[in-house]
Amino acid sequence: MSPAAKPRSGPLARGLDALDERLELCGPLTKALKKPLPETVTWYHCFGGMTFFTFVVLVVTGVVLAFFYVPSPDHARASVAWIESSLPFGSLVRNLHRWSAYAMVVLVCCHMIRVFVHGAYRKPRELNWVVGVLMLIAVLAFGFTGYLLPWDQKAYWATNVGINMADSVPLVGPFVADLLRGGPELGALTLLRFYAAHVFVLPAALALGLVLHFAMVRRQGIATPL
C-alpha cells in the first residue's frame, strides 16, 4: 500500500504493481483509507457502519435464499419449509437473514438517534439527513415486503393489516392499497410484487442511497457533537 514506487518481489506484488501502474488506484485508495478521523469520534459513531454491515449480511444471505425460494402461492410455503428442514445450512442462512433484518431496524434507529443527539443533521448536512430518512423508509419497506414472503398465516394476515392501514388513508388510501395488492384481493400478484420489490427495487434504491450517504459523509466530514 506504500505510494512510493518501491520495487517489490513475488508474483502477487508484481501483479498488483502492474495493475496500479495502469489504473493508478493506490494513491486514492491510500488517501481514502488514511483519512484521519476527528478526535471527537466515539463508539456511538459505529451504529451507521453496523447498519451497513447488516445490509451486507442481508444481501449475501438473501442471494443464497434466492437460489431456493419460490415466490408463488403454490410453492412459497413449501420452499421455505424445505429450506428450513432439508437444505444444508438452510435454517442458518434463513435465520441470519431474519435476525439481521431485525438488527438492521434496531441499529438504523440507534444511528438516527445518535445523529439527532449530536445535532449532526444541521447545516451543511441537511441533505444527508433527508437521504437517511428516505433510506429508513426503504429499510421498513424491506421489512414489510419480506414479512409476506414465507406465505404462512402470520405473513398473510400481517400484510392484510398493513394494507388495510394504507387503505384507511384519506383520498389516496384505496389507490395505494390496490397498488400494494396488485388488485382487489391479496393473492398471487401481491406475493409476486412484494418479492420483486424486496429483491430488485428496494436493494437497488438502498444501494443508491448508501452511495450518496457515504459520499456526502466523506465530502462533509464527520460532524463535531454539540
Give the phi and the psi of residue 52 in degrees, each rounded to 5. -65, -40
Task: Give the chain's length.
Answer: 226
Tell me which of 5, 25, 41, 92 binds other proteins, using CB under 8 A.
92
Q: How many residues bind other proteins (CB under 8 A)?
A: 24
Q: Does 1 bind other proteins (CB under 8 A)?
A: yes
Question: In this structure, what is the dihedral angle of CA atoms 191, 192, 197, 198, given to the nearest 10 degrees?
Answer: 60
Quick one: which segment of 71-79, 129-137, 154-162, 202-210 binds other proteins (CB under 8 A)?
A: 71-79
| Cα–Cα separations (whole angstroms), residue 25 to 2, 5, 135, 161, 222 | 12, 13, 30, 51, 25
Q: Does 35 bind other proteins (CB under 8 A)?
A: no
Q: Does 103 bind other proteins (CB under 8 A)?
A: no
CA angle 30, 52, 195 (to 5 degrees): 135
Q: Which residue type, as a one-letter code, is found at position 2?
A: S
Q: Does 11 bind other proteins (CB under 8 A)?
A: no
Q: Which residue's C-alpha cell is 449532526?
A: 120
> Which residues, at least 6 apart from 224, have a Cβ–Cβ distance to it below 8 Å?
38, 40
Tell me which of 44, 46, 50, 68 binds other proteins, using CB under 8 A.
68
Q: Does 32 bind other proteins (CB under 8 A)?
A: no
Q: Does 51 bind other proteins (CB under 8 A)?
A: no
Q: Identify the DSSP state of 196.
A: H
Q: Does 43 bind other proteins (CB under 8 A)?
A: no
Tell me which of 16, 46, 87, 103 binds other proteins, using CB under 8 A.
87
Positions that interact with other proteins (CB under 8 A)? 1, 33-34, 57, 60-61, 63-64, 67-68, 70, 75, 78-79, 81-82, 86-90, 92-93, 96
